Chains A and B, each alone.
Chain A
Amino acid sequence: MPAEDELDPVIHAPVRLRVLVTLATLRDGDDLSFTRLQELLGLTPGNLITHLRKLEDAGYVTTAKEGSGVTSRTSVSISQQGRKALDNYTAILRQLLDSASANGTSPH
């Protein structure tokens, strides 16, 4: 768990940030197929799986597999904890950008 004024390291990576923001666009109770998410983000299956695993371990996303064989469908959805973490990340990011803007420095 990151400190209250630190950017969450689980989210603070380009791919995982894009995954969470994309899933957060969906309504509560919705999920997105793995293949559509992969297509939207332009990632290889292996790359996406690696990042989804980290997000899932943190409790930010859930994955579910329905069916079997060629008709199987893997879906991904953002959890309530994930939405909360993304909101918190966004708030801290805004604070960092605002304070850097006020100080005339480049935020890192």
Chain B
Amino acid sequence: MEQDQDMSAQEAASVMQDARARARKELVISAPVVYAAWGLVWLIGYGGMWLSVREQHPYRAPSGVSMAALFVLAAFAVAAVIAVVHRRTEGIGGQSARDRRFILATWATGYLILLVVQATISHSVGARAYAFLDFAGPLLLAGLVYVLAFVLGRHRSAFALGSWLIIVGASCAWLAPATILATCALAGGGAFLLIAVIETRLAAHAG
């Protein structure tokens, strides 16, 4: 059994530094990994769909291959995020666990509502309005969830990212379907990746 030991101040500082680094590595969710995973989904997934519709005159719909690629990418991102969150939050209870459940429930409920609205109005609105709901709806929902995450006291960058995604998503209401896809891919996916880079640099700077 380790007994109380006489430590010098330097040894104590070293113990603190090691313990802090280990705890951060093991207990804090890596926000850059989560942001990068979703950034790649938006950039590559939506970018692929945009490439499949940019020559369509008039616009019809993204190709089946590009939509399948988006679903596969999203499935990988979900699996990666679940793995990261589960590993880092194992054994942690209290307020954070309650916040995570609330955020997940909000996201799931919001997505369900989005799907119901899409199914309900699919035959009564034009291609442009449907494309807005179908493509920009998930981006708006993601923005709202990130703002909610910020309100609950999570990652410092969540408010900036969430606000930007809401602005980008809302601005898609005035765009043509192909342009919506390009906007979501570049301005949405690009924002996720940019925040991932900023968070990585801030974490490295903080030591």
26 pairs of residues in contact across A and B, judged by CB atoms under 8 Å: A13-B4, A17-B15, A17-B16, A18-B18, A21-B20, A21-B23, A22-B22, A22-B23, A25-B27, A28-B95, A30-B92, A32-B91, A35-B91, A37-B91, A40-B26, A43-B2, A46-B1, A47-B2, A73-B93, A75-B94, A77-B94, A93-B16, A97-B13, A100-B9, A106-B10, A108-B8
The answer for the CA separation of A29 and B10 in the assembled complex, in Å, is 31
Contacts A36-B90, A47-B2, A108-B9 known; A25 to B153 CB distance under 8 Å? no
Interface of B is mostly: helix
Whether, in the assembled complex, B24 has its beta carbon less than 8 Å from a beta carbon of chain A, the answer is: yes
Interface size on A (CB < 8 Å)? Answer: 38
B residues contacting A by CB (< 8 A) are 1-2, 4-5, 7-13, 15-16, 18-20, 22-24, 26-28, 90-97, 153
Residue of A nearest to B20 (CB): A21
Other A-B pairs beyond A25-B28, A30-B96, A33-B91, 11, CB < 8 Å: A7-B9, A14-B5, A15-B2, A22-B22, A26-B92, A32-B92, A36-B91, A43-B2, A47-B1, A47-B2, A75-B94
Q: Which residues of A contact B26 (CB under 8 A)?
A: 40
